[in-house]
Amino acid sequence: MQGLGDLSFYNAGWYGPYTGSLISLMTDEGEVPRFTYKKAFGRKWGVYYRDFLYEDGGRLWTLSIDLWWLVAVFAAPSALWALRRRRDLTRGGPACKAGRRSRRKPVSTARTM
């Protein structure tokens, strides 16, 4: 399935989000820089993460999340509410009973003789 796009968080505004290009990680002299460490999580389940720490102390990290995750997170509460509301209205749940009570006439408990 084609994604909607990504929401990316990154620390290097001059570089932008890192998306896997090794050519862009070369130095001005054309050498691949040496890293103190590299942490990575590939594009699995719609999440992409890269974190590089250069020997000179510079750092480059990127976290990208597929927009489908955001749609799911924000749509889930609304969908659950709608399903519960529908269930209550069709099965005589609390929402249905509350609606009936509000339409009834008040019952008098006083007896007349």
What is the four-CA torsion angle of 28, 33, 39, 43, rounded to 10 degrees?
Answer: 50
In 3D space, the residue among 1, 4, 18, 11 whose CA is nearest the CA of residue 66 turns out to be 4
Dist CA 112 CA 37 (whole Å): 89
Specify the number of domains making up the chain: 2
C-alpha 104: how far from chain center: 45
Whether pLDDT at 107 is above 80? no
Q: Which residue has the higher pLDDT, 78 or 23?
A: 78
What is the four-CA torsion angle of 59, 65, 70, 73, rounded to 10 degrees?
Answer: -90
Whether 21 and 61 share a structural domain: yes
In a domain, 26, yes or no: yes
Whether 60 and 31 share a structural domain: yes
Tens digit of each residue's pLDDT (9 = 90 or more) over 46-104: 888 988 888 878 888 999 999 988 888 889 888 888 888 888 777 766 655 555 545 55
Dist CA 20 CA 15 (whole Å): 13
